[in-house]
Structure 1
Amino acid sequence: MQPSEIRASVRAFALDMPGAYEEFPWGESAIKVDKKAFVFLGADDARPACHVKLTDPDVHAHALSLPGAQRMGYGLGQYGWVYLPFDATHTSVGLACEWVEESYRTIAPRSLVREWERHDDAASAGGRDTFDNGYGKGRGR
């Protein structure tokens, strides 16, 4: 899958989450919930990538182990924000979506996270595919 296709899939996944909406501060895509960004996707013409907040130490370390990944600038890296370039060789849509979900769970209000869990459980019961996210099985789109 090409990096631009990975970006489009991640964007669609993020916008499917309860309360999620897109804004374009600085001309770049930011997916927000409750007025707070949980994923930055950059500009359409930029190198496809995302920025997510990963607070679980193992998930954070795994993300940073990917080629080109780095702590986000402007002091945000110290709070768990990570820059992840989309690469056809090293980036799976499933893993990128798992990281977007982790970021959403960190940022979103508890009520919306519970709503997402009910939605996610219903989708799983409906036979949605699973994928190996590197930490056991996860849910795909």
Structure 2
Amino acid sequence: MADYGAYILMDNGNPFVTPYSTPFCLYNRSEVASNTNGSAAIDIPVDPSYPAIAFCRVSGPSQAVYLGVRRNGSVISASASTPAGYTGSKTFTLTVYVFAVFPQPLPKWGIAFWDASGRVVLTNESRVLTDLVTVGTPGAGGINLDVTLSGSYGLC
């Protein structure tokens, strides 16, 4: 253990140790409604020096939607569309959650943790990325997955 920091044991049993761990925290949550043709797109600016990952969630009546996410420099672009020939409802809402490693704003009150370089990496207001679920077999590719999960999930 370092001369300073915190050791936090998470609910799933994994340790979080500062100053050696820097969590992915919620950086941005954006939402866009589909157009009448069943497609939606959004660009989210992200500092290019921040490692980031985006999760997409589709809600609404449409039951069939293709998703795509890419990062080009300082922009994360997300898009969703219903397949050609789809005869069901083409309305949906695309929600994009971007998690990144970035300096956290210092709260007015509460707790804050700094890393060794003096950046605030975790506060009582941070929304840390947790509860990741792997679907399928790692390394086997993601083609032809047929999995049904109950509840609400974002896809990456």
TM-score bin, normalised by smaller chain: under 0.3
Higher CA-based Rg: 2
Higher relative contact order (CA 8 A, sep 6+): 2
Compare the two structures and name the one with the higher helix fraction: 1
Compare the two structures and name the one with the higher strand fraction: 2
TM-score, normalised with respect to structure 1 = 0.23
